[in-house]
Chains A and B, each alone.
Chain A
C-alpha cells in the first residue's frame, strides 16, 4: 500500500485523482455509483457569473478513442452553484473541491472567481481560459500570454483560495502561456483542455455538432497531453495537474512521470462511471509492483533523461 497522498496549493488530497471539470457535474451525480469520498478532490462543472443554457444540440460526436463535445458551458450561474450545488454536495463529500471559473469577459471572470472562492468547500479555483466552445468563451485569454497574465493577476487579487489556470492545447507555444501565468502569480496550472475538432455527416456535408466545432478529448489525445505536461513542468516551478485522455491507473502514473503533481480524469468518467475509483486502485497496485512507497517520488521522473 503506497502513500498516495499529495499536497498542492489549497489541496491536501488523499490521492492525486480528480475528476475533470465538465465530466462530473457538481459531483453528486456520481453518488449513485460509488462513495465519492474516495476521490482526492473534484473539479466542478465550469461556472459563469450568470446562468447559461449552452449550445444547441447535437453537442456530442465521437471519434477514434475519444469524443467531441460542444456543451457551451451550460451551468446555473455562480450564485446557484454557491447556494444550491455546493450545498447538495456538502453532505456527500468531505474534502475540498476545485471550482471551475469560466467567463466571456474580464470583469465576469473576476467577479465569478471572487464569489466562488468565498465558499468553504472550495479549496482552489481552476480558471478556464481555454473553453473552445463558446464565442468569446475565454479562449482569447487562453491563447494570448499578456491577456492570460492580466486575468491571472486580477483573479489573484480577489480570490480567497489558490488559483490554477487551465491551459489550452490550441496554441503554438504552451510553454510561453505557462510561464506568463506563473509570472502573474498563478499557484498552479491544470492542463490540457480539449483539442478543437470537427466531424461531418457525409450525406449532408453538415457538421455533426450544432456549434460546428467541438473540443476533442479521450484516450486519443493522451500522448499530446503527456508531451505538453512534460514541456511545461520543466519550464515552470508551480505544480501542474495533468489531464487529457487518462483512462487507466497506468496512464495516471505515466502522466505523473511526465511531470504532473496530480491528475484529472475527464472523458473516461462518461464511458465508465467507475473510472476514478478504478484508477486509484490500479495506481496503488502499480506502485506496489514497482516497489515505490510514495507517489510523490515519481513526479517528473522523466525529467532526468535529458
Chain B
C-alpha cells in the first residue's frame, strides 16, 4: 500500500511577478515524490469551501520540502496566496507519472507561462546527470517573466515573449528556430495550445505535461480522461500528466 497524503507547513511565500507566487512547504510527505513532473493536490481549507482540492505542479523538491509556483486565477489560488507562514495544508503528494525517461544526450526543456515551474526540477536533475540541457521559456511579456536567472544558472536559457519585449518575439517554437536549438528529446509543460503546436512540430521525441480540471487527482472520478492514440483513454491524473508526443491527439 502506498500513501500520498500528508500535512505540509508553509515556510516561505513570495510574489515573483504580479499574481504569481512562489511558496515553499515542508513536511515528511514530500518523500512521496518520485519524479519531476509529478503534481500535488492541495486542500485549500479544512472547511467545505472551496470543496475540491487544487492540483498544482511542483517546481522543486527535496525529501522534506516542496516549492510551488502558482498564479492567482480564481478563488482557490487566491485563498492559497493569502495563507500565512506556519499554516498547514493537507496535501496529496507525488501524483501522476512524472518525467520518467531521462535517457537523453541533449535535452530541451520548454516551459510556457505557468508551465515553467515543473521544468525547473527536471533541469536540475538532468544537469546533475551530466546531460546537455537547454531551456526555452515562453511568456506574454517582460512583466510576466520569472525564474529566468534560476534557469540561467543551470543551462543556456532562451526567452520568447509574445509582445517581443524580451528576446524572441513570438512562441517558444519561434525561439527554438531562431536560436537553432538542437535536441534529441524535449520536455514541456504549458498551455494546451502550446503543447498541441509542439506535438505537431515535433511529434517523435517529446514528453508533454498536460493539465485538466480534476475532481480527485488520483484516478477515481474520470474527470480528466483524454483520448490518446495508444489506448482508448488516459487519465491525466494517473497515466499522465506526462504524455509522449507520439500518442497525443491534437485537440483531443
B216 touches A273 (CB 8 A): yes
Which of B61-69, B117-125, B127-135, B221-229 is the interface stretch?
B221-229
B216 touches A270 (CB 8 A): yes
Q: How far is the CA of A29 from the CA of B238 in the complex (A)?
A: 10
B222 touches A57 (CB 8 A): no
Q: How far is the CA of A57 from the CA of B227 in the complex (A)?
A: 10
Cβ of A74: which chain B residues have Cβ within 8 Å of it? 222, 225, 233
Q: Which residue of A lies closest to B214 (CB)?
A: A60
> Contact size class for A?
35 or more
B226 touches A33 (CB 8 A): no
Q: How far is the CA of A294 from the CA of B53 in the complex (A)?
A: 35
The number of residues on chain B lying at the interface, defined by a beta carbon within 8 Å of a beta carbon of chain A, is 31
Q: How far is the CA of A122 from the CA of B24 in the complex (A)?
A: 47
Residues 208-252 (chain B) with a chain A CB within 8 angstroms? 212-216, 218-227, 232-233, 238
Cβ of B21: which chain A residues have Cβ within 8 Å of it? none
Residues 1-57 (chain B) with a chain A CB within 8 angstroms? 1-5, 43, 48-53
A-B contacts, CB under 8 A, total: 106
Residue B92 is within 8 A (CB to CB) of chain A in the complex: yes
The A interface is mostly helix, strand or loop, or mixed, namely loop
B48 touches A247 (CB 8 A): yes
Q: How far is the CA of A51 from the CA of B48 in the complex (A)?
A: 34
Q: How far is the CA of A22 from the CA of B223 in the complex (A)?
A: 10
- Contact pattern, A 62-102, Cβ under 8 Å of B = 1, otherwise 0: 11111101010010100000000000000000000000000
Question: What 5 additional pairs, Cβ within 8 angstroms, besides A63-B51, A247-B48, A267-B51?
Answer: A33-B218, A65-B49, A270-B220, A271-B51, A271-B52
| 9 residue pairs bridging A and B, Cβ less than 8 Å apart | A33-B1, A57-B224, A57-B225, A59-B222, A60-B52, A62-B50, A62-B51, A67-B52, A271-B51
Please report B residues at the A interface, Cβ cutoff 8 Å: 1-5, 43, 48-53, 92, 212-216, 218-227, 232-233, 238
Please report A residues at the B interface, Cβ cutoff 8 Å: 22-25, 29-35, 45, 51, 53-54, 57-67, 69, 71, 74, 76, 218-219, 247, 267, 269-274
